[in-house]
Amino acid sequence: MSVSTWPWAQIIATGFSLGSFYALVALGFSLIFGITRAFNLAHGELIVLAGYLAFALWKFYQVPFLLTLPVSLLALALVALPLYLLLRRLKEPYALNTLVVTFGLALLLQNLMLVMFSADYRLIRPDFPVFAIPGANFFISASQIILVVLSLLATGVVHVVLHYSFLGKALRATIQDAEAAQIAGINVNRMALIGFAMGGMLIGLAGPLYGENMYLYPTAGTGATLIAIILTIFAGVGRIRTLLLGGWLLGLVESGTVLVIGSKWRELVAAAVLLTLLVFRPKGIAARNQE
Amino acid sequence: MLGKLHPSSVWALAAALALIIWPLFFPQASLYFQVLGMACLYGTLALAWNLYALSGAISLGHAAFFGLGAYGSALLSHYFHWSPLVTIGLGALASVVFGFLWCLVFRRLRGVYLGLASLAAVEIPKVIIDNWDSLTYGSMGLMGLEGLPSLALGKWEVALGSNLEAQYYLLLALVMAAALATRQIMASRWGWALRALRENETAARAIGIRTHRVQAKALLGSSYVTGICGGLYVHILGLVEPALVFSLHVSALPLIFSLFGGRTIFFGPVLGALILYPLEQLVFQPLFPMGHAGIYGVIIILTILFFPQGISVWKRAK
């Protein structure tokens, strides 16, 4: 990224678009975790897998980039189904077992992607125009606009579904207290299935956007998983507006770090933020349940 | 302590004898020396991981200790030209320092949260070493590290660096020492305190166990042994780079070997390493030259689903 004459405007623009995308990345993880209490450490790997799917469609079948989005959306919703069936079979201690199993799944997916797509860095590069603001050395690209619009749109849709529909009410009840929801007659297993399907679709949407804005390589998923965990711990589950706020904060901190210290330290920001959150709010997620 | 032998200990002893004796009959099997030697190294790593896991803490970040031990030893050897036998022991102290910080910072974390924190903790030494070019040569790493030295006792000489059979015996001795130490630890007061802590922390504290101190001791011991494994690994390989020693793979292997072998018996982690590592290297590597490590992912999923206690206790599992 070139340092423009308006560095702070550039930081804010980059941080805002990055942050909106981070919220989208975290949303699928947060929904699955909230509804089923399953930690999905393979979250980032699934996003990268969706990114590779879109890359293959775009590169080898000349599918326009925007058309790869619905394909990957459906494909990942289907991938989430076996994941749901797998995680449903785990026994107590459930959270720790899901952590270990999805850790293994992440390892498996990384190696599968290494075999299928090799270790090269890939980027989806559709011919989108770059707009320059007249009079200032400040650029906004169409891909950045698409990223922000789609991320906010998806986040908004999930928010509306959760807060203004009967299904959403049932989902939120399950997030708050699965046992009580069951007593009230909510089919918790079906809610879990719906949670995984929604989570899968969000992963499917995030994947191609990831491939268009950041480089795809088989081990890229760890970073995305970390971001999802950070924002979920920061916001607590089922709180989409806080999630968005957290995404923007993280995006701003990251883009600021890149501009001030250098892009090599970007990975450290996410890890440092996660450690700080865990140390000072160790039960950040659990504390929400008791309210 | 060695007086009365449990049947499982007899089996372990028989397996150990077989591992010692077989090279006498197949002195030319260099590939097998290499693979089984590495399996012993990973067995030691798994034992170290399991020492901390005895207290109920599932670490997803032991690559941090492994990598720090590796870099500590590699840099000492590169700048001061000391013998690797010295630098490995000293370099692993870097892992202990990190383990000490880990104890301080993660004191209040348990279970899943500790797992997540350990996953993120790996990034810190990794990114720092990756970017501190003037000291660590950054992401390019160091090539041509000094190999293990030759030991001479009178006219009797073994080249640990070049003779694969000698290397195999060194690593076998290491893993056997680690396994025996684990056996003694598990029978000691400290070992029981660790397991009491895993079962119920409040109850453990109520009967007078200093939970933080007991767990910190386990982590510090675990980090030192892990650091030694890291140092040995890079001196055997002859090169070190951040992506190699701080990878998810390094964190995953001891966990997979321990869970597969069984965490409740002292030789369980070693059993896992001795079965799975040769399986992966000798069977799956020729079949799938690129993604063969993915088999570990499948194995850990199947283990959790079907042998939650590990294979060494599968008969006892209800």
Provide the β-strand partners of residue B142.
Answer: B240
Nearest Cα of chain A lies from the Cα of B67 at a distance, in angstroms, of 17
Nearest Cα of chain B lies from the Cα of A189 at a distance, in angstroms, of 19
Nearest Cα of chain B lies from the Cα of A240 at a distance, in angstroms, of 22
Element (H, E) at B158: strand B156-159
Instruction: Pick the residue of B58, B107, B112, B256 with the most A CBs within 10 A to test the interface with A by mutation.
Output: B112
Q: Give me the percent of chain B exceeding a pLDDT of 70.
A: 95
- CATH number, domain at A47? 1.10.3470
- Are B53 and B263 in contact by the 8 Å Cβ rule? The answer is yes
Nearest Cα of chain B lies from the Cα of A271 at a distance, in angstroms, of 5
* CB < 8 Å to A272, chain B: 124
Could you tell me if residue A139 is inside a domain?
no
Distance CA B95, CA A240 (A): 40
Interchain pair B296, A107: CB under 8 A: yes
Distances in Å between the Cα of B193 and the Cα atoms of A93, A154, B40, B114, B214 are 21, 50, 28, 20, 7
Distance CA A192, CA B43 (A): 39
Q: Is the peptide bond before A93 cis (omega within 30 degrees of 0)?
A: yes
Interchain pair B297, A109: CB under 8 A: yes
* CB < 8 Å to A89, chain B: 305
| Predicted pLDDT at B317 | 45
Distance CA A193, CA A218 (A): 28
The answer to whether B198 faces chain A, any CB pair under 8 Å, is: no
Q: How many domains does chain A have?
A: 1
One-character DSSP codes across B161-175: TT-HHHHHHHHHHHH
Looking only at the bridges linking them, the beta strands covering A139-141 and A130-132 are: antiparallel
Provide the β-strand partners of residue A132.
Answer: A139
* CB < 8 Å to A95, chain B: 111-112
The pLDDT of residue B41 is above 60: yes
The answer to whether B255 faces chain A, any CB pair under 8 Å, is: yes
The answer to whether B104 faces chain A, any CB pair under 8 Å, is: no
- Are A35 and A195 in contact by the 8 Å Cβ rule? The answer is yes
Could you tell me if residue A142 is inside a domain?
no
A89, A96, A115 member nearest B305 (Cβ): A89
| Predicted pLDDT at B96 | 95
The answer to whether B60 faces chain A, any CB pair under 8 Å, is: yes
| Predicted pLDDT at A52 | 93
Distance CA B58, CA B252 (A): 11
- Are B261 and B102 in contact by the 8 Å Cβ rule? The answer is no
Complex confidence, ipTM:
0.80
Q: A68: domain range?
A: 7-124+147-286
Distances in Å between the Cα of B133 and the Cα atoms of B75, B124, B155, B239 are 12, 15, 44, 16
| Predicted pLDDT at A288 | 47
Could you tell me if residue A138 is inside a domain?
no
Nearest Cα of chain A lies from the Cα of B175 at a distance, in angstroms, of 25
| Predicted pLDDT at A99 | 87
Could you tell me if residue A137 is inside a domain?
no
| Predicted pLDDT at B24 | 77
B62-96: burial string, b at 16+ Cβ within 10 Å, e else: bbbbbbbbbbbbbbbbbeeebebeebbbbbbbbbb
| Predicted pLDDT at A6 | 63
| Predicted pLDDT at A287 | 47
The answer to whether B299 faces chain A, any CB pair under 8 Å, is: yes
B117, B127, B293 member nearest A107 (Cβ): B293
The answer to whether B15 faces chain A, any CB pair under 8 Å, is: no
| Residue B306 token pair | 């079907």
Interchain pair A108, B60: CB under 8 A: no
Tell me what the pLDDT averaged over chain B comes to.
Answer: 86
pTM over 0.80: yes
* pLDDT tens digits, B183-195: 999 999 999 999 9
Q: What is the mean pLDDT of residues B226-255?
A: 90
Which among B43, B42, B22 has a CA at the least distance from the CA of B32? B22
Could you tell me if residue A241 is inside a domain?
yes
- Are B220 and B212 in contact by the 8 Å Cβ rule? The answer is no
Q: Which has the higher per-residue pLDDT, B229 or B32?
A: B229
- Across chain B, which distance is largest between two alpha carbons, in Å? 59
* CB < 8 Å to B130, chain A: 264
| Predicted pLDDT at A284 | 55
**What three-state secondary structure class fits A160?**
helix
* pLDDT band for position B133 (cuts 50, 70, 90): confident
One-character DSSP codes across B66-94: HHHHHHHHHHHHHHH---HHHHHHHHHHH
Distance CA B15, CA B33 (A): 16
**What three-state secondary structure class fits A139?**
strand
Minimum CA–CA partner of A265 in chain B: B127
Interchain pair A100, B259: CB under 8 A: yes
Interchain pair B255, A222: CB under 8 A: no
Could you tell me if residue A260 is inside a domain?
yes
* pLDDT tens digits, A30-74: 999 888 888 898 999 999 999 999 999 988 888 888 888 899 999
Element (H, E) at A141: strand A139-141
A232-253: burial string, b at 16+ Cβ within 10 Å, e else: bbbbbbbbbeebbbbbbbbbbb
Looking only at the bridges linking them, the beta strands covering A139-141 and B150-153 are: unpaired
Could you tell me if residue A129 is inside a domain?
no
* Eight-class DSSP state of B140: G
- Are B108 and A278 in contact by the 8 Å Cβ rule? The answer is no
Instruction: Pick the residue of A107, A279, A280, A288 with the most B CBs within 10 A to test the interface with B by mutation.
Output: A107
**What three-state secondary structure class fits B156?**
strand
Could you tell me if residue A33 is inside a domain?
yes
Minimum CA–CA partner of B305 in chain A: A90
A20-34, B7-21, B83-97: range with lowest mean pLDDT? B7-21
* pLDDT band for position B225 (cuts 50, 70, 90): very high
The answer to whether A41 faces chain B, any CB pair under 8 Å, is: yes
> What's the half-sphere exposure (Cβ side, CA atoms, 13 Å) at B57?
30
Low-confidence stretches of chain A (pLDDT beneath 50) = 1-3, 285-291
